[in-house]
Amino acid sequence: MKAVNPERERELWRLFADGDMSAREELIVSYRPLVYWIAGRIRVNDTELKQDMIQEGMLALIRAADSFDPERGYKFTTYAYHKIHGQIINMLERSEKRAPVPVPDEYLECDYDGESSGDDWIDAENAISRLEGKEAEVVSALFFDGLTPKDIARSKKLDVSHVYRLRRSAITRIRGWLGLEGV
């Protein structure tokens, strides 16, 4: 998805950390296809809305680049994916008047502290994508769209306790798929 090789990318992150804005621009441009790929996976019939999605995704990409810490040893694609996808979904919800205000950025932040490798995030993302039905909707809304259980319950016309049960069930299923049952 990116046009720069890993060595060049590491160098660009280092230069950007030192304040080199041309390195920042090169990083953002090299990850631009990620925005188009994410926007392309979300089906909308309105071409104008599709352009708005791409524009919103680009803003999220820029924010992700500005807040990413490469010293933590994680992949930028994983970090940026969640920021871009979440911001596009928020924009779509606002455009449909289901969410009058955007979800704050801190709800979209990936908390990637810990001792795991960046590949673990991709495994978790794959596991989450295997969920079906209401479990998938609840987990997606909680972890990717930044909604609270109360917001989900209201929008899906469910009891809040049912949202928590669906979340608990989904997490148990994901832990099993990732081999983390006893952890």
> Residue ranges per domain, the chain?
1-112, 115-183
Q: In b/e form, how buried is each residue of 10-35, taking b as 16+ CB within 10 angstroms?
A: eebbebbeeeeeebbebbbebbbebb
Instruction: Just give the CATH number of 1-112.
Output: 1.10.1740.10
Say if residue 41 is exposed, middle or buried (CB neighbours under 10 Å; 0-12, 13-18, 19+): exposed
Q: What is the pLDDT of residue 182?
A: 55
Nearest-angstrom CA–CA distance, 149 and 4: 40
Q: Rounded to the nearest 5 degrees, what angle is found at the Cα of 94, between the Cα atoms of 103 and 86?
A: 45
**DSSP character at residue 71:** G
Q: What is the DSSP string of 160-183?
A: HHHHHHHHHHHHHHHHHHTT-TT-
pLDDT over threshold 60, residue 117 = no
Question: Which range among 41-45, 125-129, 153-157 has the greatest average pLDDT?
Answer: 153-157
pLDDT over threshold 70, residue 74 = yes
Helix H segments across 20-117?
21-30, 32-41, 47-67, 76-95, 105-108
Instruction: Just give the CATH number of 115-183.
Output: 1.10.10.10
Nearest-angstrom CA–CA distance, 126 and 178: 10
Q: Indicate the pLDDT class of residue 108, thresholds 50, 70 and 90.
A: very low
